[in-house]
């Protein structure tokens, strides 16, 4: 059937309706100028001008009605996305937070893992509030090394995404607890035995611990899932896992459940007498297992008929079929059945929605209203010529000057619409006339671009009004522009026309001419721009679930510009640029296994070195192939060069270029990378960014180094500030969980005898996990149980002279006359009670007390507000401010402890087991040394 196209006579929106715009305008004129303007007929020139403006407004309205994807499509046909929008798969996802998130993450990332069980270890201690046991089930494999590889890879992946305070124990494989199954099953005639039995085995296994199936975004969308629901959780590589597809492992199963499952299989006629037997013990109607085990049914043994009647009889039409069953083949078929389904499901996964495609619209291009006036108005392209009388030329230019004001306003509106991507960008724009700036760059050579003689024309900080010149759009605009004859000079032999043409081109190419400067000053007002830009950034923050009021409270103050509002714009902009990583990692901790190693300060700070780095512009890079340098010597020389270069950059640092804040350089310096999220917790990254630690430390170093008297004390402070800002984003942060994990624990109990407590120690040392589990039991233990425990003389030894750590931190067991304590031991010299105040917090953070801005009540209040707003409620934290002398002692101990955890590849001729044992001993030693010093400086000052 041929489709008929026709125009529908419908009411246009006001911005596209010429007649309505004209009527609205006339109504306004009559209301405000009825006595001065009485002739509103087409014969009045004012009406003609008004009609041309209304027509131009409809063009602006037409462009304003373009779809957003068209407005944001660039000349190359690509949609503006970067620093404009976050794709849903990047901004809606988060690093694993819940146990369900962790399970999905491991199933997706570790190929050999089929399913996961993660259970928290219950404890009363804040430092041990996030200990988790992990159990795995694996896909069937003939490779004997699969189990060890799966455990190692899972442990690594969990530490990649663990949250602050979380501690995952080395995963274990779920131990199968095998039951044989008793009963009698009757099959329907005509059904294949070797089809039904694998399905039965798989159905029962899937009921005990259901397999997880990954699927695609497109399929979930068709099922009616909302986008934010699909992307809720960690980023997965092989398909999304709906939460409802994840079911917990069953640690008990009843006979009637198995009966019902088998009856639902097609081909099964009846089933009776189902019971279970474990290790040839008495049959039972319930099969049970521990959390570290998984229920399995040994069908091979149940089907066997070699020496005795089969416990599980399979019949069809009164005939027993057990003798024809190939049990091993059936088990293999059952294992393959689900695997094929999963492969087919994941094969065609679409992980995310397709980015929309737009059509490029040249919105910047403006067609002047002067081109559409009747010729009698003499304002068009060929309105005047060399023969036109001077008075007519003057009249034409007078009208053109009047009309050009409207042209400039309209042209600026088109520029504003065309630069909508910059207006709502996370990055602060640097110039308000991008179209003319593009022309400025086009006429420059590569060398001129790399080494400009002058700064970019009329740079301003974060403009919110965009404008453009009328050079190409308004005909014969040249005589109307201020100082248009500034380039009217040249060789005597050159004709006036040629000279005039070259002068006009030179004027257009000059970004500093009076006309462009006038546009800048007319369009830009710092006070208005900053407020508008701050409001726009607040909108962008709110659009991504961030409270502008909270951010304002945290980043209140001046660190970069001396203006509170300008600093807010700077901080909010860079925060939004990094929001995808910060939001995704949210409460994530640093990855202590794969973080980059910390470098001790290789510089020996002296007055002479400070002077040298301040005065010299360049440093010599060590030559890699120098004959007098060994490989280790070159590495050491390179580290020395890097440290010197970093210090030199700080000593000569400036955030401004020609009075304008260098937005691009600042954005680059503050860009957070994936490796940063490995090296630091999100807590540390956000504190450094939102509380502006870097400029405070830089200012201190600059001021301290410029002092006439560079004392040893000042050099020490410079060293500490320099190390903190280059190695740890300005703060040292320690999770007490990681300290306690490497210790061994001894239990102490005391009973009251004649008003004196007698102490006993348990002969066997415990690991961290077992000790915190027992601590829960001690807190609620009745006196009779405590007496029974201590009555075992083979397990306890009386302590004649208990240490003060044992006696001072012993805790009463309820209302009884007994006490308990646990002493953590890392080496022979470091022994600390688990009840020591240093373990009363999950997170310890240390700041220098000699940085003026950090040592103010106002900054410390903002830090406290940040922690209350951003840190999870279960995280107990403690902040302390240390002197340079204390930091100088803490830093090397912290470096050794931090680096000891990082995985190191076994050296040549060293086995993996030996390397692991060596690393474990290093962790124990360095943890003990660090904890011993923390005890000497720890003071509980937080409320």
In a 10 Å sphere around its CB, with 0-12 CB exposed, 13-18 middle and 19+ buried, how is residue 228 labelled?
exposed
State pLDDT tens for residues 878-887: 999 999 999 9
C-alpha to C-alpha distance for 201 and 195, rounded to whole angstroms: 11
DSSP string covering 312-333: EEEEETTEE-GGG--HHHHHHH
The answer, yes or no, to whether residue 334 has pLDDT greater than 70, is: no
Neighbour-count burial for 440-474, b at 16+ CB within 10 Å, e otherwise: beeeeeeeeeeeeeeeebbbbbbbbbbbbbbbebb
Mean pLDDT of 701-710: 84
The answer, yes or no, to whether residue 361 has pLDDT greater than 80, is: yes
State pLDDT tens for residues 25-74: 999 999 998 888 888 888 899 999 999 999 999 999 999 999 999 999 99
Q: Where are the alpha helices (DSSP H) in 652-735?
A: 663-669, 674-679, 682-690, 693-705, 712-727
The pLDDT, as a whole number, for residue 441 is 81
273: left (phi over 0), alpha (psi -120 to 50) or beta: left
The pLDDT, as a whole number, for residue 778 is 79
DSSP string covering 711-725: -HHHHHHHHHHHHHH
C-alpha to C-alpha distance for 136 and 113, rounded to whole angstroms: 7
- Using alpha carbons, select from 941, 718, 706 the residue that is nearest to residue 841: 941
DSSP 896: H
Specify the range with the lowest mean pLDDT, choosing from 114-118, 142-146, 451-455, 566-570. Answer: 451-455
Distance of CA 849 to the CA centre of its chain: 30
State pLDDT tens for residues 830-842: 889 988 889 888 9
The pLDDT, as a whole number, for residue 942 is 45
- Using alpha carbons, select from 137, 181, 175 the residue that is nearest to residue 286: 181
The pLDDT, as a whole number, for residue 654 is 58
The answer, yes or no, to whether residue 506 has pLDDT greater than 60, is: yes
Q: Where are the alpha helices (DSSP H) in 809-856?
A: none
C-alpha to C-alpha distance for 616 and 611, rounded to whole angstroms: 8
C-alpha to C-alpha distance for 414 and 60, rounded to whole angstroms: 7
843 φ, ψ (degrees, to nearest 5): -135, 125
Instruction: Report the half-sphere exposure of 595 (CA within 13 A, side-chain side).
Output: 24
The answer, yes or no, to whether residue 340 has pLDDT greater than 50, is: no
The pLDDT, as a whole number, for residue 3 is 67
Top pLDDT among 737 and 339 is at: 737
Name the band, by pLDDT with cuts 50, 70 and 90, for residue 653. Answer: low
628 φ, ψ (degrees, to nearest 5): -90, 5
Q: Which helix (H) or strand (E) holds 39?
A: none
The pLDDT, as a whole number, for residue 307 is 53
C-alpha to C-alpha distance for 206 and 245, rounded to whole angstroms: 12
Top pLDDT among 870 and 622 is at: 870
Top pLDDT among 178 and 493 is at: 178
C-alpha to C-alpha distance for 671 and 83, rounded to whole angstroms: 12
Mean pLDDT of 305-323: 73
Name the band, by pLDDT with cuts 50, 70 and 90, for residue 665. Answer: confident
DSSP string covering 546-590: --HHHHHHHT-S-SSSS-HHHHHHHHHHHHHHTHHHHHHHTTBPP
The answer, yes or no, to whether residue 921 has pLDDT greater than 70, is: yes
The per-residue pLDDT of the chain, averaged, comes to 87
In a 10 Å sphere around its CB, with 0-12 CB exposed, 13-18 middle and 19+ buried, how is residue 664 labelled?
exposed
The pLDDT, as a whole number, for residue 649 is 83
The answer, yes or no, to whether residue 251 has pLDDT greater than 50, is: yes
Top pLDDT among 611 and 724 is at: 724
Distances (CA, A) of 238 to 91, 106, 147, 206: 18, 11, 22, 21
Name the band, by pLDDT with cuts 50, 70 and 90, for residue 943. Answer: very low
Mean pLDDT of 899-925: 89
The pLDDT, as a whole number, for residue 710 is 85
Residue partners of 509: CB distance under 8 A and separation at least 6: 439, 440, 443
The pLDDT, as a whole number, for residue 198 is 83
C-alpha to C-alpha distance for 513 and 487, rounded to whole angstroms: 10
Task: Let me know: does 797 contact 803? Beta carbons within 8 Å.
Answer: no
State pLDDT tens for residues 365-422: 999 999 999 999 999 888 888 788 889 999 999 999 999 999 999 999 999 999 999 9
Task: Tell me the Cα Rg of the chain.
Answer: 38
Tell me how far apart the 2 most distant CA atoms of the chain are, in Å.
126
Instruction: Express as a percent the part of the chain with pLDDT over 90.
Output: 46
If you count them, how many residues does the chain have?
Answer: 943
Which residue(s) pair with 661 in the sheet? 656
The pLDDT, as a whole number, for residue 344 is 46
C-alpha to C-alpha distance for 442 and 439, rounded to whole angstroms: 5
The pLDDT, as a whole number, for residue 659 is 66
The answer, yes or no, to whether residue 288 has pLDDT greater than 90, is: yes
C-alpha to C-alpha distance for 461 and 565, rounded to whole angstroms: 12
In 450-522, which ranges are E strands?
none
* Count helices and strands in the chain by DSSP H and E runs: 36, 22
- Using alpha carbons, select from 123, 271, 247 the residue that is nearest to residue 197: 271
- Given the DSSP bridges, would you call strands 167-168 and 131-138 parallel, antiparallel or unpaired? parallel
C-alpha to C-alpha distance for 212 and 225, rounded to whole angstroms: 18
Name the band, by pLDDT with cuts 50, 70 and 90, for residue 305. Answer: low
Q: What is the dihedral of CA 334, 336, 339, 345, to 10 degrees?
A: -100
The pLDDT, as a whole number, for residue 782 is 83
Task: Let me know: does 694 contact 725? Beta carbons within 8 Å.
Answer: yes
């Amino acid at each position: 059937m041929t489709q008929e196209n026709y125009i529908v006579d419908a009411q246009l929106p006001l911005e596209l309706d010429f007649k309505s715009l004209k009527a609205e305008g006339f109504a306004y004129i009559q209301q405000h100028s009825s006595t001065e303007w009485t002739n509103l007929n087409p014969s009045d020139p004012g009406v003609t001008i008004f009609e041309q403006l209304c027509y131009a407004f409809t063009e602006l309205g037409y462009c304003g009605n373009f779809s957003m994807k068209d407005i944001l499509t660039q000349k190359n046909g690509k949609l503006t996305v970067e620093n404009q929008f976050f794709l849903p798969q990047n901004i809606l996802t988060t690093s694993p937070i819940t146990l369900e998130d962790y399970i999905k993450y491991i199933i997706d990332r570790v190929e050999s893992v089929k399913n996961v069980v993660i259970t928290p270890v219950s404890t009363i201690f804040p430092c041990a509030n996030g200990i988790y046991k992990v159990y795995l089930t694996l896909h069937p494999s003939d490779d004997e090394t699969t189990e060890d590889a799966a455990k190692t890879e899972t442990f690594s992946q969990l530490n990649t995404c663990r949250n602050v305070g979380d501690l995952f124990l080395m995963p274990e494989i779920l131990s199968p607890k095998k039951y044989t199954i008793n009963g009698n099953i009757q099959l329907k005639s005509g059904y294949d035995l070797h089809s039904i039995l694998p399905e039965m085995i798989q159905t029962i296994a899937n009921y005990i611990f259901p397999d997880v199936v990954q699927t695609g975004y497109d399929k979930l969308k068709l099922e009616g899932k909302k986008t934010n629901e699909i992307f809720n959780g960690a980023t997965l590589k092989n398909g999304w896992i709906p939460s409802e597809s994840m079911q917990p492992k069953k640690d008990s199963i009843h006979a009637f459940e198995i009966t019902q499952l088998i009856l639902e299989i097609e081909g099964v006629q009846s089933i009776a007498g189902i019971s279970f037997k474990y290790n040839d013990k008495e049959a039972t109607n319930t099969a049970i297992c521990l959390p570290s085990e998984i229920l399995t049914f040994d069908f091979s043994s149940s089907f066997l008929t070699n020496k005795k009647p089969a416990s599980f009889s399979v019949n069809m039409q009164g005939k027993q079929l057990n003798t024809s069953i190939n049990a091993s083949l059936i088990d293999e078929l059952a294992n393959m059945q689900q695997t094929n389904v999963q492969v087919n499901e994941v094969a065609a996964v679409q992980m995310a929605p397709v980015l929309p495609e737009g059509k490029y619209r040249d919105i910047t291009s403006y067609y002047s209203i002067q081109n559409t006036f009747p010729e009698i108005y003499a304002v068009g392209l060929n309105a005047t010529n060399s023969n036109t009388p001077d008075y007519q030329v003057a009249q034409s230019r007078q009208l053109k000057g009047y009309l050009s004001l409207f042209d400039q306003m309209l042209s600026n509106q088109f520029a504003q619409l065309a630069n909508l991507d910059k207006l709502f960008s996370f990055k602060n724009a640097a110039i308000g006339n991008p179209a003319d700036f593009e022309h400025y760059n086009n006429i420059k050579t590569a060398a001129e671009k790399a080494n400009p003689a002058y700064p970019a024309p009329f740079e301003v900080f974060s403009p919110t009004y965009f404008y453009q010149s009328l050079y190409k759009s308004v005909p014969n605009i040249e005589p109307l522009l201020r100082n248009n004859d500034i380039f009217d000079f040249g060789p005597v032999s050159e004709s006036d026309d040629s000279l005039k043409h070259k002068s006009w081109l030179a004027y257009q190419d000059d970004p500093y001419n009076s006309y462009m400067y006038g546009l800048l000053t007319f369009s830009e007002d710092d006070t208005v721009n900053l407020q508008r830009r701050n409001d726009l950034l607040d909108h962008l923050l709110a659009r991504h679930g961030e409270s502008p009021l909270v951010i304002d409270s945290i980043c209140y103050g001046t660190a970069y510009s001396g203006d509170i509002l300008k600093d807010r714009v700077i901080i909010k902009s860079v925060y939004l640029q990094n929001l995808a990583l910060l939001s995704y990692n949210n409460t994530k901790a640093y990855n202590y296994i794969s973080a980059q190693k910390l470098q001790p300060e290789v510089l020996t700070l002296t007055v002479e070195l400070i002077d040298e780095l301040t005065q010299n512009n360049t440093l010599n890079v060590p030559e890699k192939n120098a004959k007098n340098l060994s490989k280790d010597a070159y590495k050491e020389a390179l580290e020395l060069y890097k440290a010197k270069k970093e210090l030199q950059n700080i000593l000569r640092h400036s955030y401004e270029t020609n009075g304008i804040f260098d937005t691009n350089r600042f954005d680059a310096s503050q860009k957070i990378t994936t490796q940063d999220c490995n090296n630091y917790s999100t807590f540390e990254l956000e504190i450094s960014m939102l509380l502006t630690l870097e400029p405070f430390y830089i200012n201190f170093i600059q001021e301290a180094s410029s002092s006439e008297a560079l004392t040893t004390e000042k050099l020490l402070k410079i060293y500490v500030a320099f190390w903190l800002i280059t190695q740890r984003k300005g703060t040292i942060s320690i999770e007490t969980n990681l300290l306690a994990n490497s210790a061994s624990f001894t239990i102490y109990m005391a009973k009251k005898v004649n008003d004196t407590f007698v102490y006993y120690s348990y002969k066997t040392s415990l690991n961290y996990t077992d000790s915190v589990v027992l601590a829960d039991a001690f807190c609620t233990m009745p006196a009779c149980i405590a007496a029974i425990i201590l009555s075992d003389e083979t397990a306890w030894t009386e302590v004649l002279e208990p240490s003060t750590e044992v006696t001072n931190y012993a805790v009463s067991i309820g209302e009884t006359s007994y006490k308990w304590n646990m002493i953590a031991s890392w080496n022979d010299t470091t022994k600390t009670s688990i009840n020591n105040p240093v373990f009363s917090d999950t997170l310890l953070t240390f700041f220098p007390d000699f940085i003026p801005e950090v040592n103010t009540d106002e900054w410390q209040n903002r830090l406290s507000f940040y922690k209350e707003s951003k840190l999870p409620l279960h995280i107990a934290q403690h902040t302390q401010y240390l002197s340079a002398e204390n930091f100088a002692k803490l830093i090397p101990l912290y470096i050794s402890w931090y680096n000891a955890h990082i995985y190191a590849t076994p050296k040549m001729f060293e086995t993996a087991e030996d390397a692991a044992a060596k690393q474990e001993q290093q962790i124990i030693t360095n943890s003990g040394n660090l904890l011993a010093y923390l005890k000497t400086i720890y003071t509980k000052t937080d409320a």
